[in-house]
Amino acid sequence: MVSELAPAPGSTTIEVALKIWRYDAETGEKELKRYEVEAPDWVTLLDVLDIIKDKHDGTLAYRKSCRMMICGSCGMRMDGAAVLACKTRMYDIAKSGHVPVISSMGNMPVIKDLVVDMEPFWGKIRRMKPWLDPGYEEPLEKERIVSQKQMNVIHKEALCIMCGCCVSECNSMESDPEFFGPAALAKGMRFVGDVRDQADVARLNDYNEEHGIWDCTRCYFCNERCPKGVDPRDAIAKLGAESIKQGVDHDMGAKHAKWFVHSAKTTGWLRETELVPKTQGVVEAIKQTKFALKLARRGKVPPPVPPHVADRIHESRRLYHLVKEQGRDGALGIVQGEHALGRIEFAEQAAAKTSDPEVRPGVKPPPAAG
Amino acid sequence: MEAKHDVLIVGAGCAGMRAAIEAHDAGADVALLSKIHPVRSHSGAAEGGINAALGNASEDSPEEHAYDTVKGSDYLGDQDAIEILCQEAPDDVYQLEHWGAVFSRTDDGRIAQRPFGAAGAPRTAYAADITGHVLVHVLYEQVMKRDIRTYEEFFAWKLVMNDDRCQGVIAWDLLDGGLKSIGAKTVILTTGGAGRLYVGTTNAYACTGDGMALALRVGVPLKDMEMMQFHPTTLAPTGVLITEGTRGEGAYLLNSEGERFLTRYAPNAMELASRDVISRAEQTEIDEGRGINGNVMLDLRHLGAEKILERLHGTRELSMTFAGVDPIYEPIPVRPGAHYHMGGIDTDVWGLTEVEGLYAAGECACVSVHGANRLGGNALMETITFGKRVGHHAADWALANTTVEVPPSVEADAERELKELLDRGEGERPWSIRDELAESMHENFGVFRREDQMRKQGEIVDSLRERYERVIVEDKGNVFNNDLTQALELGFLLELAACMVPCGIERKESRGAHARPHDYPNRDDENYLRHTLVTMQDGRPQVDWKPVTMTKWQPQERTY
Amino acid sequence: MKRVAYYKGCLASLSAKELDSSTKALAPKVGLELVELDAVTCCGAGDIHEAEPDYYLHLNARILAYAEAEGCDMLLTVCNVCTLNLRQANWQLKNDEELRDRVSKNLQRVGAPPYSGGVEVRHLLWEIAEGEGYELLKKSAHRGLKGLKIAPFYGCQILRPSKLLGFEDPDRPWSLERIIEACGGEAIDYPAKVKCCGFPIIQAREETALGELIQPIEQAKEAGADALVTPCPLCHLSLDAWQSKLKESTGKDFQMPILHLSQLVGVAAGLDESELKFKRHVVSVTPVLEKLEV
């Protein structure tokens, strides 16, 4: 999520109290310790940690560097939710009397106090082959010609500072630690969506593997926690869309998703009963028979015939075909929302064409729409 | 010795990573060593852009870029180095794009360029206002692609000198603890600047001048150390950077009377004058009572929400989080803050220092391409172009030479010194020395300098260095002991401060970022068209001089 | 009476008929006149958003268009996933004029009414957690829950992403607790109440999903809850119908009854079994009903 308006820095002093989960790697001991400090009113959580480390307890370990939300060092949990310490202004919390509990990020092993082992995180990033693969093109003399609109497709994914806040909260990864996770998949989308990268199909095949795209449980914690507005869940959805568009749809997750589409354009409502065999295949469906019968006894397995058809279903069918004609397929169909650059036109393969007047420096822009 | 390499690069920001890529591609066994993960490097905080005469926004040429840079340096820049930078810049930028850098684009799909301070033509290529972030990530992607060995969270503490050559680094391993020595045929220092010398700085906590101090301690001279650039638009109270790109997009600077006061200081270029000119103008307005709580106002409102959201969204986030101001509706209060160190390790145009096997590039080096003042957008360019050059040269040298040795005595000495520090049970915590250093430097060695204040600062630094002899580290553990590394960083900062101040005193003129309006208000080309060179002899700074290399341009009056 | 368009979604129409029947019976008691929409389709459940994103946008725009065509300014949902999908589409269309034009024109081309963004999407939960709906709720919950311990399970998509849902703080929600208490029950607190039940991947990645599913059930059980309540029929399906699978994988037989929100309020308001349809649940609700002496 993007920033909210914080209070302006003043020149008063406030009392800030924190509880921090200390962890001593050498002894294995864990302890929740309380600290109370006096601090200027403009402090962030990171500033408070600095005051504690300087003046109260030099053994407190945490990462930091830029203190301006760009390096990604200071990810940690406050009351169980991952935040960037340098972005978290303490004024309102301190004034309310709340004493937050600070702990290390989730889903990553703790090394000491608030320092986690990011090696598994980086391992998954590397797994995505996160470098541009321009294919067999001849080296160019100058820059490749790419329109701003084409670059906008990956605008959000390119914002990622690799802080780990999304990974910290990922419900799927908590249950399956091998899940690639939101940061890695968003990085993958950064390349799949980059018109200059020619390895789309290879990447999509890779990301569709076990522990990949279709492992995402859609809890939206990553979107909620990301301090930069990357929206990793949306990036994963874009990967799913692009996979299906490019015919990389062998995963059960993809089949599951496609059955919803098929249902909507044939009967309008989800054809629930057929979902299992369509997603998991007939063999698995047969294995699930005992389970299915238990559900059926309660009426939870609606008979597939007669199908429950919505009124005016032809509209839905016609919409499907109309939309396919207009061709906003795959990742491009997913609207980015927010910011002026949320407008994604149909991207053409060749050089850029645009109908929007480009705002130029030095020339007074038209009045803001607000 | 933990390991040995052909090329060991200390500091993994843009310059370090670019050097690593080049050295790797030249066939060398290269390793990066960094006290923080490479993508955490402060290069990533650069916002506005990278300069190259691509000619996408208007007619332009490397010669014009070079002229602007020379003039911007207040004629202290070495013109041969500047010409090299400006000649090679365009291809170096194209290379970044080929690797996938996410640049903002023009209407016809080329790399967009915006106007920046003191540039005759719009030549600052950019990625919204997160250019540094984009470059750090594209370079790290290329580092990952080549599987370049990285010693992550290794704090470089000493250079290994053997046989009059630099043959490696002794570092504290932050994750596992303990001193580790890594041998290398060549060592490249790309450790960035030392903004943490000042209380209001755009720099990260990590910017403590490590490489400069390491070089200084093995006898390499540091050049133009008095030249610290104060960026005109930083947020109070901590100094968070608000990009020059705001002014490139048309923002105004206003005083408490709502006046665009630059009409009185830089009537032609106005908000796009050179940074030192603007910082001085702002400081004057503030000192003369036309500031608001020690700030002037940066007004973006007339740019409109759409443009701000599209091109300056990072700025808006910073402003909302740290200043409590939404620039769409309100002006941002800003003031000068320590930002970029023009001075640094004396190198030639290939990044070689006078010590064999030791190189430097990027902000920690002083070639000098920036002289007494750096143009916005030139720093990123320097990291790329000179990072490339140094990587290449170091790789070539390393491949042509075979031996590497880290003498056990060097390791033993280091262990002993460290034990002394860690064993100390009583003394002063680093923070009080550190805060006093930063506050006094801000007070006595800031935008405007006076002889008496500088001399006083020299004494203050001396007394702080004495107190540092008794500094204590509270954390005696092995795992993630940044209490220790932060204490060592303070040591680096103190030595650098001890070097900067005498250079400031000796330079009896005003040039670029070194402004002495009370005693030496003018530039004195007859006596001072030369670089300061400082070395430490028995712990005392010795100031010497070095001529400026001039190729095409003679000094002229510098107005905007 | 507030006249609102009623979007029941796929599950309430089919496998979760108990949700539809209890909602319909409850609505007039909390001041809602439900206008059923017959021509609408599935919202996509997030799957169509992922598989055919443009089609997803159009389907949801069509649902909203039909609601507006009925003269309603509110579309009432009874499912977390429907709520997120409809609100997301609404938000995307409202913020992008060109997109809105194209979609609306397409709708009209196939014979549907145009989309003009005049409908707000709200979950029943929001309608009865505050304001007039809440007042009417208190009045109608005359039967009360007699101090029954109810663990609220929010799930994901009624809270996150908060910029699209925005009704309450996603980390400190209060609506279910408030309703439980207004109905005379005791709200049980436990950490997993805002976590994922695993439904979206329960078929494609069953083991992972079960690792998620066990958390709310186990924690609520340990905290002494008599039942869970959820505003989402998909969560309900996994919590209720898949609960037996937890026994297979962990050996634990929780027997934790799972109630739909409308059933919880409904039983407190005195609705009878023909409307509540507890018999349709896989995990028996009988222990709850016995405690309530129903």
**Is the model's pLDDT at B432 over the cut of 70?**
yes
Contact status, residue B196 vs residue B207, Cβ threshold 8 Å: yes
**Inside any domain, residue A289:** yes
- Is the Cβ of A293 closer than 8 Å to some Cβ of chain C? no
- As a whole number, mean pLDDT of residues B203-210 equals 98
Q: Which CATH architecture has domain C141-291?
A: 3-Layer(aba) Sandwich (3.40)
* Touch between chain A and chain B: 3 or more Cβ pairs under 8 Å: yes
Q: What is the nearest CA distance from A1 to chain C, expressed in angstroms?
A: 8
Structural domain range at position A265 = 252-335
**Inside any domain, residue A110:** yes
B10: part of which helix (H) or strand (E)?
strand B3-10
Q: Output the pLDDT for position A275.
A: 82
- Is the Cβ of A315 closer than 8 Å to some Cβ of chain C? yes
**Is the model's pLDDT at A369 over the cut of 80?**
no
Q: Which residues of C touch A260 (CB under 8 A)?
A: 42, 44-45, 47-48, 51
What is the CATH classification number for the domain harbouring A28?
3.10.20.30
Tell me the C-alpha distance between B101 and B96, whole Å.
6
Q: Are residues A92 and A124 in the same domain?
A: no
Q: Are residues A229 and A277 in the same domain?
A: no
Q: Which residues of C touch A175 (CB under 8 A)?
A: 198, 207-212
Side chain identity at residue A137, one-letter code: E
Q: Output the pLDDT for position C294.
A: 66
Residue A134 — very low, low, confident or very high, per pLDDT cuts 50/70/90? very high
Provide the phi-psi class of A360: left if phi over 0, else alpha when psi is between -120 and 50, else beta. Answer: beta
**Inside any domain, residue B80:** no
Condensed to tens digits (0 to 9), the pLDDT of residues B271-313 reads: 999 999 999 999 999 999 999 999 999 999 999 988 898 889 8
Q: Output the pLDDT for position A342.
A: 29
The residue among A24, A57, A112, A143 with the most chain B CBs within 10 A of its CB, best to mutate, is A143
Is B301 a catalytic site residue?
no
Neighbour-count burial of B363, counting CB atoms closer than 10 A to its CB (0-12 exposed, 13-18 middle, 19+ buried): buried
Q: Are residues A134 and A209 in the same domain?
A: yes
Q: Are residues A129 and A234 in the same domain?
A: yes
β-pair type (C74-77, C120-123): parallel
Number of domains present in the structure of chain B: 2
Q: What is the nearest CA distance from B313 to chain A, expressed in angstroms?
A: 9
Q: Are residues A195 and A140 in the same domain?
A: yes
145-174 in chain B: CB under 8 A from chain A: 145
- Is the Cβ of C116 closer than 8 Å to some Cβ of chain A? no
Among chain A residues, the shortest Cα distance to C54 is held by A333
Q: Output the pLDDT for position C17.
A: 94
Q: What is the nearest CA distance from A181 to chain C, expressed in angstroms?
A: 13
Contact status, residue A157 vs residue A186, Cβ threshold 8 Å: yes
Q: Which residues of B touch A115 (CB under 8 A)?
A: 480
Number of domains present in the structure of chain A: 3
**Inside any domain, residue B359:** no
Side chain identity at residue A162, one-letter code: M
**Inside any domain, residue A359:** no
- Is the Cβ of A209 closer than 8 Å to some Cβ of chain C? no
Residue A117 — very low, low, confident or very high, per pLDDT cuts 50/70/90? very high
Domain boundary residue, one of B305, B336, B367: B336
Residue A357 — very low, low, confident or very high, per pLDDT cuts 50/70/90? very low
* Touch between chain B and chain C: 3 or more Cβ pairs under 8 Å: no
Q: Output the pLDDT for position A333.
A: 82
Main-chain dihedrals φ then ψ at residue B162, nearest 5 degrees: -150, 130
Q: Which residues of A touch C169 (CB under 8 A)?
A: none
Mean pLDDT of chain B: 96
What is the CATH classification number for the domain harbouring B486?
1.20.58.100
Residue B560 — very low, low, confident or very high, per pLDDT cuts 50/70/90? confident
- Reference C267, options C11, C10, C25, C70; nearest CA is C25
- Is the Cβ of A110 closer than 8 Å to some Cβ of chain B? no
What is the CATH classification number for the domain harbouring A163?
1.10.1060.10
Inter-chain touch A263–C195, beta carbons under 8 Å: no
**Is the model's pLDDT at A360 over the cut of 70?**
no
The string of DSSP codes covering B251-293 is: -EEE-TTS--GGGGT-TTTGGGS-HHHHHHHHHHHHHTT-SBT
- As a whole number, mean pLDDT of residues C107-132 equals 96
**Inside any domain, residue A357:** no
**Inside any domain, residue A356:** no
Q: Which of B165, B247, B275, B507 is catalytic?
A: B275
Q: Output the pLDDT for position C249.
A: 83
Q: Output the pLDDT for position A135.
A: 87
Provide the phi-psi class of B344: left if phi over 0, else alpha when psi is between -120 and 50, else beta. Answer: left
**Inside any domain, residue A234:** yes
- Is the Cβ of A9 closer than 8 Å to some Cβ of chain B? yes
Residue A347 — very low, low, confident or very high, per pLDDT cuts 50/70/90? very low
Q: Are residues A303 and A237 in the same domain?
A: no
Condensed to tens digits (0 to 9), the pLDDT of residues C151-170 reads: 999 999 999 999 999 999 99
Q: Output the pLDDT for position B443.
A: 95
**Is the model's pLDDT at C250 over the cut of 90?**
no
- As a whole number, mean pLDDT of residues C254-281 equals 96
Q: Which residues of B touch A4 (CB under 8 A)?
A: 320
Among chain A residues, the shortest Cα distance to C166 is held by A224
Structural domain range at position B321 = 233-336
Cis bond before residue A306 (omega within 30° of 0): yes
Tell me the C-alpha distance between C188 and B531, whole Å.
73
Inter-chain touch A80–C54, beta carbons under 8 Å: no
- Reference A211, options A249, A248, A253; nearest CA is A253
Residue A337 — very low, low, confident or very high, per pLDDT cuts 50/70/90? low
Domain boundary residue, one of A93, A115, A137: A115
Tell me the C-alpha distance between C82 and A220, whole Å.
15
- As a whole number, mean pLDDT of residues B327-353 equals 96
Q: Which residues of A touch B322 (CB under 8 A)?
A: 6, 9, 42, 68
Tell me the C-alpha distance between B246 and A115, whole Å.
36
Helix (H, G, I), strand (E, B) or coil at B64: helix
- As a whole number, mean pLDDT of residues B89-98 equals 97
The tokens for B229 are: 């650039």
- As a whole number, mean pLDDT of residues A300-329 equals 87
Tell me the C-alpha distance between B396 and B7, whole Å.
10
For C78-107, b/e burial (b = at least 16 CB within 10 A) is: bbbbbbbbbbbbbbbbebbeebbebbbebb
Q: Which of A41-50, B117-126, B206-215, C71-80 has the lowest mean pLDDT?
A: B117-126
Number of H helices, E strands in chain A: 14, 7
What is the CATH classification number for the domain harbouring B245?
3.90.700.10
Q: Which residues of C touch A319 (CB under 8 A)?
A: 55, 58-59, 62, 106-107, 110, 112
**Inside any domain, residue B394:** no
Q: Output the pLDDT for position B162.
A: 94
Contact status, residue B214 vs residue B10, Cβ threshold 8 Å: yes
**Is the model's pLDDT at A242 over the cut of 50?**
yes
**Is the model's pLDDT at B117 over the cut of 90?**
no
Q: Are residues A200 and A100 in the same domain?
A: no
The top-scoring range by mean pLDDT among A90-104, A134-148, A256-270 is A90-104
Q: What is the nearest CA distance from A213 to chain B, expressed in angstroms?
A: 21
Task: State chain B's maximal CA–CA distance in angstroms.
Answer: 67
The tokens for B290 are: 């036309």
- As a whole number, mean pLDDT of residues B373-398 equals 97
Among partner residues B115, B175, B236, which is closest to A9 by beta-carbon distance?
Answer: B236
**Is the model's pLDDT at A234 over the cut of 70?**
yes
**Inside any domain, residue B164:** no
Q: Output the pLDDT for position A276.
A: 77
Tell me the C-alpha distance between A251 and A208, whole Å.
7
Q: Output the pLDDT for position A231.
A: 94
Inter-chain touch A368–B134, beta carbons under 8 Å: no
Q: Are residues A294 and A241 in the same domain?
A: no
Q: Are residues A214 and A327 in the same domain?
A: no
Q: Output the pLDDT for position A47.
A: 97
Q: Output the pLDDT for position A293.
A: 83
| CATH of the domain spanning C2-123, picked from 3.40.630.30, 3.10.440.10, 3.30.70.3340, 1.20.1050.140 | 1.20.1050.140
Condensed to tens digits (0 to 9), the pLDDT of residues A53-74 reads: 999 999 999 999 999 999 999 9
**Is the model's pLDDT at A362 over the cut of 60?**
no
Q: Are residues A145 and A232 in the same domain?
A: yes
Provide the phi-psi class of B141: left if phi over 0, else alpha when psi is between -120 and 50, else beta. Answer: alpha
Q: What is the nearest CA distance from C16 to chain A, expressed in angstroms?
A: 7
Among partner residues A7, A58, A146, which is closest to B324 by beta-carbon distance?
Answer: A7
Instruction: Say what percent of chain A tops pLDDT 70.
Output: 90
Q: What is the nearest CA distance from A85 to chain C, expressed in angstroms?
A: 18
Q: Output the pLDDT for position C205.
A: 94
Among partner residues B40, B54, B324, which is closest to A71 by beta-carbon distance?
Answer: B40
- Is the Cβ of A126 closer than 8 Å to some Cβ of chain B? yes
**Inside any domain, residue A349:** no
Domain boundaries, chain C: 2-123, 141-291
Q: Are residues A130 and A229 in the same domain?
A: yes
